[in-house]
Amino acid sequence: MDMKYPIGTFQFDDEISNSVTNVWINEIEDLPRLLRDAVEDLDNEQLDTAYRSGGWTVRQVIHHLADSHMNAYVRFKLALTEENPVIKPYEETKWAELSDYKLPIDTSLTLLETLHKRWTNLLYSLTPADMDKTFIHPDSGAVSVAENIGIYAWHGRHHLAHITSLCNRKGW
């Protein structure tokens, strides 16, 4: 198994239909519960274990998900309310070194639960025209709202798999 990309990279070459985006939105909606279930019995030593050599700790992954998904939520709102806005990337590796990444994981788990309620409420309300709206990522170009739903459904599954595969390997 590839420990860096346990579920592979995001790839979707088919047409992004309403049924596909609904599956993705359901995955985004379910992530906070699945994440909490995956880490509920881990102690601090386990939370401070890297999922792979050179990778983040479980604690850092959880805090990263909160940061990343807050950024994603704002990017969706920008795309829905502005004409092709250019979004601002952030240095996720440097963010993971800041002091708030040492906080108890419940701070980010609770944030994710609340954020994902608002986020999925927004996503379920989108019209076909909304799905076609875009933002500009300075590194990857134009990204549609529909594609970004898929990217973030994958992102959640990707990091959840980092945690669950570590737990399976360690027998936790």
Contact 49, 105 (CB under 8 A): no
Please check whether residue 6 lies inside any domain of the structure.
Answer: no
What is the DSSP secondary structure assignment for residue 84, as one 8-state letter?
S
**End-to-end Cα spacing for the chain:** 18
Number of domains present in the structure of the chain: 1
137 assigned ligand-binding residue: no
Q: Is residue 14 part of a domain?
A: no
- 15 occurs within a structural domain: no
Question: How is residue 87 annotated by DSSP?
Answer: P
E strands along 3-127, which residues? none
Residue 138 belongs to a domain = yes
In a domain, 8, yes or no: no
20 found inside a domain: no
How does DSSP classify residue 86?
B
Structural domain harbouring 60: 32-170
Contact predicate 62/39, CB 8 Å: yes
What does the alpha-carbon distance between residue 45 and residue 147 come to, in Å, rounded to a whole number? Answer: 37
**Residue 17 covered by a domain:** no
Burial call 149-167: b when 16+ CB within 10 Å, e when fewer: bbbbbbbbbbbbbbbbbbb
Residue 7 counted as domain residue:
no
Indicate the length of the chain as a whole number.
Answer: 172
Residue 162 in marked binding region: no
Q: What is the CATH number of the domain that holds 103?
A: 1.20.120.450
Tens-digit pLDDT string for the chain (172 aa): 789 999 999 998 888 999 999 999 999 999 999 999 999 999 999 999 999 999 999 999 999 999 999 999 999 999 999 999 999 999 999 999 999 999 999 999 999 999 999 999 999 999 999 999 999 999 999 999 999 999 999 999 999 999 999 999 999 9
Global pTM value: 0.96
